[in-house]
Amino acid sequence: MGSKYVTLVFECSTDEDLGAVRELATSKNCRAWSMDHEMLRVDLLRQAISDGDIYKAEEYLDVDGTESLLGDLR
């Protein structure tokens, strides 16, 4: 039997929750790059919405990868 992957979704309502999930993402059994990129997108979306920049938030929803977005994170 080959490897199996499971996608989990965590609600992170506090910075401590987010830190715990990011720590989990560093596990050797976790595809951390994928989870961390999605968490980066969530951070950027929250920031854009908080700033009232709906157009920027829409861009983050349409993006194929997050490498080009790292500079946008303040």
What does the pLDDT look like over 17-68, one tens digit per residue? 888 887 777 777 676 555 666 777 788 888 888 999 988 888 877 755 555 5
pLDDT interval class at 74 (50, 70, 90)? very low
Instruction: Indicate whether 9 belongs to any domain.
Output: no
Instruction: Indicate whether 8 belongs to any domain.
Output: no
Instruction: Indicate whether 25 belongs to any domain.
Output: yes
Q: How many domains does the chain have?
A: 1
Domain of 39, in residue numbers:
15-72
Instruction: Indicate whether 41 belongs to any domain.
Output: yes
Calpha distance 17→68 (Å, rounded): 26
Instruction: Indicate whether 63 belongs to any domain.
Output: yes
Q: Is the dihedral of CA 63, 48, 7, 24 positive or negative?
A: positive
Q: What angle do CA 32, 22, 68 make, to 5 degrees?
A: 60
